[in-house]
Structure 1
Amino acid sequence: MSKKVIALSVLILFVLVIGLTGCGQQTAKPAEPAKAKVLKAGADAAFAPFEFQDEKTKEYTGFDIDLIKAIGKQMGVEVEVQNINFDGLIPALEAGNIDVLISGMTITEERTKKVNFSKPYYRSGLSMVVKSDNNTLKSFKDLEGKNIAVQIGTTGANEAKKIKDAKVREFNNAPEAFMELKAGGVDAVVNDLPVNEYYIAKTGSKDAKIVGEPLNAEEYGIATAKKNTELAEKINKALEELKKNGEYEKIYMKWFGKKPPQ
């Protein structure tokens, strides 16, 4: 065998070895960045000052929105807010479409059968709003036989239905109820006190006024699915930490202009 043939054979063998080695190797893919965990929160964004859509930015804002975002930050997760009608919030939670709901929801025995509530984060009560020139309706007792506007699925709606001979009209959200009052279609609106106060502040007391003493002491809670006890515990822990470090008080002061009750 000549030297040329030997050299050529060595060269061919070398090329084959390099080729086979290359086939056995896979090009390393760049590592994908870890996706941030997202907490899907449901709220009825027509319940100012707790949750509503900013007219300029179109972003959801309010006391509840700031609070759940602060809770998410404390837990190390991003919060994604979904706007859902109030009466559809618990069904959405039960179906797994959202992880948590925060929407000025009063903790009641009936609701506790369906969801887990956090420790109370806000204390409220029901009040009634009438037109500014109405001087005959001064208490809940005066609503007997009257037309009352309420928001569907709320404790205000439940209480209004207990009033003797009252004709209760249910609306999808609080603004619709107030519009009906302004149009003269109802005699009063029954809703949570801070919501009524915010409406009066926005209208400058020109169209309506709050009358009578608040009815019932109510406490709001953040709800999670019955089976998700781990998330409920994390939310309670985060809420407690926010109250300790002063962040809860800052958010409360921002929306209500006063310190939270002790």
Structure 2
Amino acid sequence: MFKKFAFAACAAVAFTATLSSAALARDLLRVGTEPTFAPFEFLDTETKQYSGFDMDLIRAVADKAGYDVEILNMGFDALIPALKTKTIDVIAAGLSITEERAKRVDFTKPYYTSGISMIVRQADAKKFATFANLEGQRLAVQIGTTGADYAKGIKNAKVQSFNTTSEAFLDLQSGNAAAVVMDRPVLAYFLKTQPKAGKSLKLQPEIMDAQSYGFAVDKGNTELLNKLNKAYDELVASGEAKKIHDKWFAE
């Protein structure tokens, strides 16, 4: 009788432990990014972790929504196809909210407003003071970005697309391009983290086509979209979203 009681007690404890583990288990949110878009997403060479404003924010949003996060690295132009094939659950990659993209994905509430600007060599600062001055010039851009789209609309511009921002900046520094055309925060972060480049390059004040960034989920995934929006609202209300913003931006 005692052995039966002891066995039953042990079984009850094991069953309770299993229930507790199940209650603590969280779903995994697979986040796709293209980590060459500092300060939004990049690979920290010291920690070997994906870092940046987007990475901090999506981790905080996911945690608030009850998810664990797995970051998946892929090319920028592969992000939406990966979402459509359910390889990932959400995109966090400085993705501008556009009408064209909104036909294929659903965006969360905007979490950052950016705009297109340009960096030129200091010696050319007066010559290329505005985007109107870039007509007929060779321009360096990152493939698949709104900066690349805008540059292609400049009259007679010769647009050279690169896979990463660093390649575009190198093209400018080597004298091949008249300007690098990208989102302003990316340009400002580059100059902040590359003081030597800051001595020879200049971020021009003009800002074009202000756009908002949002996280993206597959079209029709309302359940996940609502969870992410609710979590973001809670982070804003608590002040945590502002703390994350202020960690990466002086503005």
Say whether the fold is shared (TM-score over 0.5). Answer: yes
When normalised by structure 1's length, the TM-score is 0.85
Cα offset for 1:181?
A: 1.1
Query: For residues 159-178 of structure 1, what are the structure 2 equivalents within 5 Å?
Result: 159-178=150-169
Matching residue of 2:191? 200
Deviates more, 1:243-252 or 1:127-136: 127-136
* Structure 2: gaps (5+ residues): 1-10
Q: Which has the larger radius of gyration?
A: 1
Matching residue of 2:109? 119
Is 1:130–2:109 an aligned residue pair?
no
Query: Following the alignment from structure 2 to structure 1, what is the Cα–Cα distance between the partners of residues 122 and 33?
Result: 30
Query: For residues 7-46 of structure 1, what are the structure 2 equivalents within 5 Å?
Result: 33-34=21-22, 35-46=25-36
Query: For residues 24-173 of structure 1, what are the structure 2 equivalents within 5 Å?
Result: 33-34=21-22, 35-135=25-125, 136-173=127-164
Residues 43 and 89 in structure 1, CA contact (< 8 A), matched pair in contact too = yes
Structure 1 residues 9-58: Cα deviation after superposition (integer angstroms, max 9, x where no partner) = xxxxxxxxxxxxxxxxxxx7x66644431100011100000000112111
Residues 149 and 180 in structure 1, CA contact (< 8 A), matched pair in contact too = yes
Query: Following the alignment from structure 2 to structure 1, what is the Cα–Cα distance between the partners of residues 48 and 166?
Result: 17
Query: Following the alignment from structure 1 to structure 2, what is the Cα–Cα distance between the partners of residues 212 and 166?
Result: 20
Query: Could you say which structure has the higher helix fraction?
Result: 2
One-letter code of the match for 2:54?
Answer: D
Query: Following the alignment from structure 2 to structure 1, what is the Cα–Cα distance between the partners of residues 43 and 174?
Result: 23
Cα offset for 1:183?
A: 1.7
Structure 1 residues 166-197: Cα deviation after superposition (integer angstroms, max 9, x where no partner) = 00011112111111111222111100000000
Matching residue of 2:231? 238
SS in 2 for 1:97: coil
Query: Following the alignment from structure 2 to structure 1, what is the Cα–Cα distance between the partners of residues 185 and 250?
Result: 12
When normalised by structure 2's length, the TM-score is 0.88
SS in 2 for 1:123: strand
Query: Following the alignment from structure 1 to structure 2, what is the Cα–Cα distance between the partners of residues 42 and 177?
Result: 23
Among the aligned pairs, what percent are the same residue? 49
Cα offset for 1:207?
A: 3.4
Cα offset for 1:102?
A: 1.1
Aligned residues between the structures: 232
Residues 140 and 212 in structure 1, CA contact (< 8 A), matched pair in contact too = no
